[in-house]
A and B are shown apart, each in its own frame.
Chain A
Amino acid sequence: MSQTLTQLQSNQVARFSSRKVVQLGVFTALALMIHVLEAPLPRPLPWLKLGLSNIIPLVLIHLMGVGEALVVTFLRTLLGAFILGSFLSPGFILSFCGGLMSTLMMGLAYRSLYPKLTLIGISVSGALIHNITQLLIAYWLFFQTLHLGDLSLIMLLPLLITSAIPAGILVGYLGSAVCLRLKEDF
């Protein structure tokens, strides 16, 4: 009993060590930089983008844990909105909810299926949930009052599902490359 208690305490200490705080700060800064730099890149459609900043939560889930990834995603979307001037705008609500839900999904997939499902598959599942969350929220926020019918919502699904695949694969490859290089430091 006393042993588990000390173990618990040492875990607690490790959880909030200054080393970890610094690491999370660096990862937040990195994610924020990717987030802000990606914003002005040209896109095929106004609401389709690669979501490269999801590399950071993916790497964090692998190297540290789901909680850390969620904290960094929360800070990244919030601070990103302050920098881009989109705080509380529709775009912010979409990226905030989409980011948190996709990080949660990647965490769930990692805990239950890794390493059978590699970081590539995990990132694809995250991208998918990101897109579906955004579709549902956009519908609920803006398009519900337009009475377009459910068909127009379903019609968008194939596009959102297929676009999640290349984005997810790219993020997965980049994320696993980053993990390989960072492994010695963790």
Chain B
Amino acid sequence: MRPSRLDALLIGVLLLSSLGIFLGVKLVSAAGTQVEVYRGETLLHSLPLHKERLLPVNSQQGRLVLQIKDGAARITEVDCPRQVCRSMGPISQAGQAMICLPNQIIVKIRKTHESDLDATTE
């Protein structure tokens, strides 16, 4: 079976719209300034994105290591079999997130107003 014109049109429209959404999101999103680490709903750490840092995060299920480097955050080590959250990074734009479901750790990027604090922790 050969694809018809309408098939080509559908595929073309889909490609164009995904390109449009991609570019639109790029345009709207801003570089983040703050890295927030949550376990479930509780905020564990809030760190500036511009300071290089290696941060081990523990939970009842296991641990992971968060690396902040060159204005981006990534998870470099995690002790779970599927390693999904490692493939989610690096992230640097406000609104992006990495989620480690087995450890229930969420790393989010935020854009905050200038703050005098270097880091806060709870």
Identify the A interface with B (CB < 8 A). Answer: 45-46, 113, 115-121, 124-125, 128, 143, 145-146, 148-149, 151-152, 154-155, 157-159, 161-162, 164-165, 169, 172-173, 176-177, 180
Q: Closest approach, in angstroms, between the C-beta of B107 and any C-beta of chain A? A: 11
Alpha-carbon separation in the docked complex, A148 to B14 (Å): 26
Alpha-carbon separation in the docked complex, A12 to B96 (Å): 55
Q: Closest approach, in angstroms, between the C-beta of A138 and any C-beta of chain B? A: 11
Q: A116-B4, A161-B18 known; A149 and B95 CB under 8 Å?
A: yes
Q: A121-B10, A148-B95, A148-B108 known; A46 and B15 CB under 8 Å?
A: no
Please determine whether A164 and B4 come into contact, CB atoms closer than 8 angstroms: no
Beyond known contacts A120-B1, A157-B18, A161-B21: 4 more, CB 8 A cutoff:
A117-B4, A154-B21, A155-B25, A165-B14
Q: A146-B99, A152-B95 known; A119 and B22 CB under 8 Å?
A: no
Alpha-carbon separation in the docked complex, A146 to B36 (Å): 12
Q: A149-B95, A162-B15 known; A116 and B28 CB under 8 Å?
A: no
The range of chain B's interface size is: 20 to 34
* CB 8 Å contact bits of B15-30 with A (1 = contact, 0 = none): 1011101100100110
Contact of A165 among B11, B41, B82, B96 (CB under 8 A): B11
Please determine whether A162 and B18 come into contact, CB atoms closer than 8 angstroms: yes
The reply to whether the CB of B87 lies closer than 8 angstroms to some CB of chain A is: yes
Identify the B interface with A (CB < 8 A). Answer: 1-4, 6-7, 10-11, 14-15, 17-19, 21-22, 25, 28-29, 38, 41, 82, 84, 87, 95-97, 99, 106, 108
Can you sample 21 A-B contacts with CB below 8 Å?
A: A116-B6, A118-B2, A118-B3, A118-B6, A120-B1, A120-B7, A121-B10, A121-B11, A124-B7, A128-B14, A146-B97, A155-B95, A157-B18, A161-B14, A161-B15, A161-B17, A161-B18, A162-B15, A169-B11, A176-B1, A180-B1
Q: A45-B87, A118-B7, A124-B7 known; A165 and B99 CB under 8 Å?
A: no
| Residue with the greatest number of chain B CB neighbours at <10 A, chosen from A46, A115, A118, A172 | A118
Alpha-carbon separation in the docked complex, A61 to B95 (Å): 41
Q: Closest approach, in angstroms, between the C-beta of A53 and any C-beta of chain B? A: 20
Please determine whether A148 and B97 come into contact, CB atoms closer than 8 angstroms: yes
Contact of A151 among B7, B18, B95 (CB under 8 A): B95
Q: A117-B6, A158-B19, A165-B15 known; A152 and B97 CB under 8 Å?
A: yes
Please determine whether B6 and A113 come into contact, CB atoms closer than 8 angstroms: yes
Please determine whether A158 and B14 come into contact, CB atoms closer than 8 angstroms: no
Cβ contacts under 8 Å, A164 to chain B: 14
Q: A145-B41, A148-B95 known; A117 and B15 CB under 8 Å?
A: no
Q: Closest approach, in angstroms, between the C-beta of B29 and any C-beta of chain A? A: 7
